[in-house]
Amino acid sequence: MSDSLLNSVLEQFDITLSQSQRLLRLELPGAALLPHR
């Protein structure tokens, strides 16, 4: 019972982590293209 709960929490965390990593991959190249002042 507690194992399935832990697994579902870890799955949610993995999904959130992958989404934030995807956002970072999209934002970083755009920031690199901006001229630095």
The Cα–Cα gap between 10 and 31 comes to 31
Domain ranges, residue 16? 1-28
Asked whether the whole model's pTM tops 0.75, one would answer no
Number of domains in the chain: 1
Position 1 scores a pLDDT of 62
Q: Quick one: what percent of the chain has pLDDT higher than 90? A: 30
Residue 25 has pLDDT above 80, yes or no: no
Query: Does some domain include residue 12?
Result: yes
Torsion sign across C-alpha atoms 33, 34, 35, 37: negative
Q: Please report whether residue 37 resides in a domain.
A: no
What is the pLDDT averaged over residues 9-27? 85
d(CA 35, CA 15): 33
**Residue 6 lies inside a defined structural domain of this protein:** yes
> Using CA atoms, how far apart are residues 10 and 7, in angstroms rounded to an integer?
5
Take residue 22 and report the two structure tokens written for it: 């995807």
Place of tokens 């989404």: 19
